[in-house]
């Protein structure tokens, strides 16, 4: 029997590999074409996993206890979740995050400063794909009743989540 942590790590690694493949295709375009390629590939992956019988997407996730992350971090404590967000904030304000801001603001200037913008964009694409799966797969640990449709958006008013 596989542990939930192993499933989260495997899912994150699979999303990272998929992020590399999609990123290598998408970052060759800029502007609206980048957005359209990214959206098209994301929708294809979404519908493949929505229709796959082994994912049980429409069944939802309910009554999942918080437990411990990797047997070490107690997820019953809200402080543990605070520290996870703190780590993300430190990444955003790190030199890597600042290069991404520079690329967003003025990519030609970032190139002139000597940054390999294609490499940074690919790495950001891969990290965001992996982080998205990590976040979605770990959400049941800190919320005991979520349906799969709610893993991607806010909780509707008519439901009890």
Separation between Cα atoms, residue 70 and residue 63, nearest integer Å: 19
pLDDT digits (tens, 9 = 90+) for 54-98: 777 766 656 666 667 666 777 777 787 788 678 768 877 888 888
pLDDT of residue 116: 92
Q: Report whether pLDDT(100) > 60.
A: yes
Query: Rounded to two decimals, what is the model's pTM?
Result: 0.45
Predicted pLDDT at 159: 44
Q: Which residues pair with 145 in a beta bridge?
A: 62
* Structure-model confidence comparison of residues 38 and 139, the more confident one: 38
Decide if pLDDT at 160 tops 80.
no
SS3 52: coil
Q: What is the pLDDT of residue 148?
A: 44
pLDDT in tens, 8-65: 788 888 888 888 888 888 888 888 898 899 889 889 988 888 888 877 776 665 666 6
Comparing 84 with 105, the larger pLDDT belongs to 105
Angle at which helix 32-51 crosses helix 4-26, to 10 degrees, equals 140
Cβ atoms of residues 15 and 130 within 8 Å: yes
What was the pLDDT predicted at 147?
47
Residue 18, classed as helix, strand or coil, is helix
Quote the distance between the C-alpha of residue 17 and its chain's center: 12
Greatest pairwise CA separation for the chain in angstroms: 53
């Amino acid at each position: 029997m596989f542990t939930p942590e192993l499933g989260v790590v495997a899912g994150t690694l699979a999303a990272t590999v998929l992020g590399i493949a999609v990123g290598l295709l998408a970052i060759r375009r800029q502007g609206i074409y980048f957005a359209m390629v990214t959206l098209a590939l994301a929708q294809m992956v979404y519908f493949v996993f929505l229709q796959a019988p082994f994912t049980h997407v429409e069944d939802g996730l309910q009554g999942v206890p918080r437990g411990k992350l990797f047997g070490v971090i107690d997820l019953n404590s809200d402080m543990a979740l605070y520290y996870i967000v703190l780590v993300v904030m430190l990444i955003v304000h790190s030199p890597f995050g600042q290069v991404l801001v520079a690329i967003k603001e003025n990519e030609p200037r970032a190139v002139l400063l000597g940054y390999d913008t294609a490499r940074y964009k690919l790495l950001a694409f891969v990290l965001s794909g992996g982080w998205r799966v990590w976040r979605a797969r770990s959400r049941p640990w800190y919320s005991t009743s979520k349906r799969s449709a709610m893993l991607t958006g806010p909780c509707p008013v008519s439901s009890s989540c």
